């Protein structure tokens, strides 16, 4: 069984959830745990600022309140500290910085690519420890370099100085969005998800109900996620996920049609036209492609060219 944990390294509940998951899996050796990126603070500045200073920002204060509406930010921090202590995290506890987690997510993703789940888990543990026990700035690449070396991933530091992992993290964030991940941490097995840092008993019950799900081919899953992003009105995200499919399956009708939809929805009309013109020629009875082609031409002020396609689309759907 493979468990994907979608979590942010600056989320305290992610570290608490990690400990609870470890307890839930203590007597199991048939599980692979893979960490996936999630952003709870996507507007965090590129240069970290002390957390106490950040919390004086009214916008930051409002964001923290959204996590626990019944508590003040200070009360929420006390609550999390108490829960963390009960999980054996401490004795010192608490982040010291409002820091971007982008490079840390790159490091975690690269660790999996280079050493599998075991190396990735070690990197994740050390990143979380640095954030919440040592109160270090994990947006600082020198800090991440030390973490990578200590975890047995010395090449990680050099990779962070390149664009390695950029595309992968971007795609994974979009995949999480497409799959409906909204909370850090979220445990996902196949099509089932468990949100939040649940108790070990709840995790075991969840996993007991996850057997038997068949995995779909990677390209099919990617297509589904791109379609989901279109439903979420994120055509640019859909195009990001479609890019490798357009390269590998350039002649596939469904891929081309979805790409045309995404180009049209993102106002890339010339690119939409480039997909649709050959589609209506190859599949003259495709009413949807004709309709979209006609609308694409109309939006380029080419009403006369659009008219026959609109008429044919209307006739086909009558």
Q: Residue 48 maps to which CATH number?
A: 3.40.30.10
The answer to the question of residue 60 being in a domain is yes
| Same domain (yes/no): 107, 235 | no
Backbone angles phi, psi at 37, to 5 degrees: -80, 145
| Same domain (yes/no): 226, 198 | no
Domain boundary among 184, 208, 232: 208
| Same domain (yes/no): 117, 233 | no
DSSP bridge pairs for 33: 3
Backbone angles phi, psi at 182, to 5 degrees: -130, 0
| Same domain (yes/no): 200, 110 | yes
| Same domain (yes/no): 109, 19 | yes
| Same domain (yes/no): 231, 163 | no
The answer to the question of residue 111 being in a domain is yes
| Same domain (yes/no): 200, 90 | yes
Predicted pLDDT of residue 66: 60
Evaluate whether 39 touches 8 at the Cβ level (below 8 Å): yes
Predicted pLDDT of residue 63: 60
Structure tokens that stand for 125 in this block: 């543990």
The answer to the question of residue 258 being in a domain is yes
| Same domain (yes/no): 96, 125 | yes
CATH number, domain containing residue 292: 1.25.40.10
Burial (0-12, 13-18, 19+ Cβ within 10 Å), 302 = middle
pLDDT along the chain (318 residues), means of 10: 96 97 93 96 91 79 64 80 93 93 98 97 98 97 98 97 97 97 94 95 94 81 97 98 96 97 98 97 94 97 95 83
| Same domain (yes/no): 58, 147 | yes
Rounded to whole angstroms, the Cα distance separating 84 from 77 reads 10
Write the CA distances from 253 to 169, 258, 260, 276, integer angstroms. 28, 9, 10, 10
| Same domain (yes/no): 27, 139 | yes
Domain extent at residue 302: 218-316
Q: How many domains does the chain have?
A: 2
Structure tokens that stand for 299 in this block: 């939006």
Evaluate whether 74 touches 56 at the Cβ level (below 8 Å): no
Evaluate whether 115 touches 153 at the Cβ level (below 8 Å): yes
Domain boundary among 208, 238, 253: 208
The answer to the question of residue 178 being in a domain is yes
How many residues appear in the chain? 318
Q: Which residues contact 259 (CB under 8 A, 6 or more apart)?
A: 239, 242, 246, 275
| Same domain (yes/no): 94, 174 | yes
Predicted pLDDT of residue 77: 83
As a dihedral over the C-alpha atoms of residue 295, residue 300, residue 303, residue 305, rounded to 10 degrees, the angle is: -90
Predicted pLDDT of residue 225: 97
| Same domain (yes/no): 160, 136 | yes
The answer to the question of residue 213 being in a domain is no
Strand order across the beta sheet in which 186-189 lies: 32-37, 2-7, 186-189, 192-195
Domain boundary among 164, 185, 208: 208
If DSSP codes are grouped into helix, strand and coil, which group holds residue 134? coil
**Strand 186-189 relative to strand 32-37, pairing:** unpaired
DSSP bridge pairs for 37: 7
């Amino acid at each position: 069984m493979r468990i994907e944990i979608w979590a942010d390294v600056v989320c305290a509940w992610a570290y608490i959830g990690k400990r609870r998951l470890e307890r839930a899996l203590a007597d199991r050796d048939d599980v692979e745990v893979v960490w996936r990126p999630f952003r709870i603070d996507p507007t965090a500045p590129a240069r970290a600022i002390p957390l106490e200073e950040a919390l004086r920002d009214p916008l930051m204060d409002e964001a923290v309140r959204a996590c626990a509406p019944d508590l003040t930010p200070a009360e929420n921090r006390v609550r999390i500290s108490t829960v963390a202590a009960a999980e054996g995290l401490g004795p010192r506890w608490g982040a010291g910085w409002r820091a971007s987690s982008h490079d840390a997510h790159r490091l975690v993703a690269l660790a999996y690519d280079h050493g599998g789940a075991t190396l990735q888990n070690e990197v994740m543990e050390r990143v979380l420890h640095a954030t919440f026990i040592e109160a270090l700035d994990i947006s600082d690449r020198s800090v991440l370099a030390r973490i990578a070396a200590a975890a047995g991933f010395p090449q990680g530091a050099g990779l962070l100085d390149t664009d390695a992992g950029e595309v992968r993290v971007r795609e994974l964030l979009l995949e999480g969005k497409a799959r409906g991940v909204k909370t850090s941490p979220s445990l996902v097995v196949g099509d089932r998800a468990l949100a939040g840092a649940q108790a070990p008993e709840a995790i075991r019950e969840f996993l007991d109900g996850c057997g038997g799900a068949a995995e779909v081919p990677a390209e099919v899953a990617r297509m589904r996620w791109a379609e989901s992003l279109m439903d979420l009105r994120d055509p640019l995200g859909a195009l990001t996920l479609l890019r490798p499919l357009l390269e590998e399956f350039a002649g596939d009708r469904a891929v081309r049609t979805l790409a045309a939809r995404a180009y049209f929805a993102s106002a890339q009309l010339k690119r939409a036209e480039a997909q649709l013109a050959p589609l209506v020629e190859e599949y003259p009875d495709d009413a949807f492609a004709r309709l979209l082609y006609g609308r694409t031409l109309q939006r380029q002020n080419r009403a006369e060219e659009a008219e026959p396609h609109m008429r044919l689309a209307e006739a086909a759907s009558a």
